[in-house]
Amino acid sequence: MHTLYDSDTYSVTHMLANAVAADAPCEIEGDQVTQVLLVPTLARHGFEIIDKRAGKEVYLDGSWAELFQQRITAWQLKTPTQEEVEDTLEQYAELAQNPVVVH
């Protein structure tokens, strides 16, 4: 998981389906230590957008995640202002239904 954006208003985290957890089991063979990659049954990446003002989050996966990834790629080509980023995140945050819960 990678935090892509964090401001006073929004936080965006990229969740990677095939990422190796820090506590993943390891195999030791000779001098080499290899982490065992546990591949999820349904390998999908997604984006979690948290609206800090409303205390709600939305998780984008599938085609929503692909559309959001296209937006991020466009931002990498032409760096947006913070206002442009916040306006875009506000549109996605309107979909947020889940309250943010800290475990």
Q: What is the reported pTM? A: 0.71
Evaluate whether 6 touches 50 at the Cβ level (below 8 Å). no
Tally of domains within the chain: 1
- pLDDT by residue for the chain (103 residues), tens only, comes to 889 999 999 999 998 876 555 555 556 566 665 555 555 555 678 999 999 999 999 999 988 999 999 999 999 999 999 999 999 999 998 888 878 876 5
Evaluate whether 58 touches 95 at the Cβ level (below 8 Å). yes
Q: What is the domain extent for residue 51? A: 2-99
